[in-house]
Amino acid sequence: MTTHPAFAEGRVAVVTGGASGIGLAAARTFLGRGMKVCIADRAGPALEAAERALLVNAPGGAADVLAAATDVSRFEDVAALKTLAYDRFGEVAVLMNNAGVGVVGKALEPSPAWRDLLGVNLWGVINGVQAFGQAMVAQNTPAAIINTGSKQGITTPPGNAGYNVSKAGVKVFTESTAHELRQIPGCQVTAHLLIPGFTFTGMTGAGEKPAAAWTGAQVVDFMLQSLDRNDFYILCPDNDVDRSLDEKRMAWAIGDIIGNRPALSRWHPDHADAFKAFVGG
């Protein structure tokens, strides 16, 4: 059980993207630690099913669980979510901006996918912090804001430029949020960037979990252990990639700038052998 004071029994967590995957796993875990939870997701059967599933194990029954249909890409929706959560519970100790979509956006192809990707993955995080942040600071109690990023927002592999841009934006925004919170005298709210590894969620499709993937529950357990150390970058491994390999991939990515290599040189034929040697070394 985490010792981070924001996750104490009786306190309140708001989780966007809470109808499935990491978000639903987080809500279940928080309830299991005696917290109250508000899950937000797009209206539909998934949100309704998630609410029913959470109510089964909620110690206080319906008093501990709130499900809110929310489009996180719209600030008005997120502001309404904030009002709903505070009216119901009186405080928010944990804000987990986790909602995300994984549709493909190509750099050279005009597509509505770009607006959906940036609207949910990036603006959803910005809207969450800006709707809830000042109220959480004003509580003057220990609290945490956790934004779900991605390793693709750091190493930016080819294939889905839209997703990479959205998650790179989450990284930069969360770093700035953490810095701004540190400048507020006496502030007890901290910000953290969750960086999952390969995780079996709703975005990766139905079917059997691949052996290389972690479950959402494993990600949440790792997140809580990291928060005990007050980690900002919560860099999760999985069953295929450990932290050492992640660090080498990230170091190579920033090395493209320092060494003036071609963009995304890890996937460039002229640098494939050098990258392989770098990882092997």
CATH code: domain 5-240 is 3.40.50.720
**pLDDT at residue 201, rounded to an integer:** 83
Enumerate the active-site residues.
163
Helical segments of 104-213, H only: 112-117, 123-139, 152-155, 161-182
Q: What percent of the chain has pLDDT over 70?
A: 98
Helix (H) or strand (E) holding 40: strand 36-41
Q: Does residue 281 surpass a pLDDT of 80?
A: no
pTM strictly above 0.85: yes
Task: Match 């940036």 to its residue by tokens.
Answer: 118
Give the pLDDT confidence of 266-275 residue by residue, as tens digits: 999 999 999 9
pLDDT band for position 2 (50/70/90)?
A: low
Strands 143-148 and 189-195: parallel
Q: CATH 3.40.50.720: which residues of the chain?
A: 5-240
pLDDT at 5: 93
Q: Are 78 and 127 in contact (CB under 8 A)?
A: yes
Give the mean pLDDT of the chain: 96
pLDDT at 209 over 90: no
> pLDDT at residue 203 above 90?
no
Residues 6+ apart with CB under 8 A from 76: none
The per-residue pLDDT for 207 is 73
Q: What confidence tier does 208 reach under pLDDT thresholds 50, 70, 90?
A: confident
What mean pLDDT is predicted for residues 117-146? 98
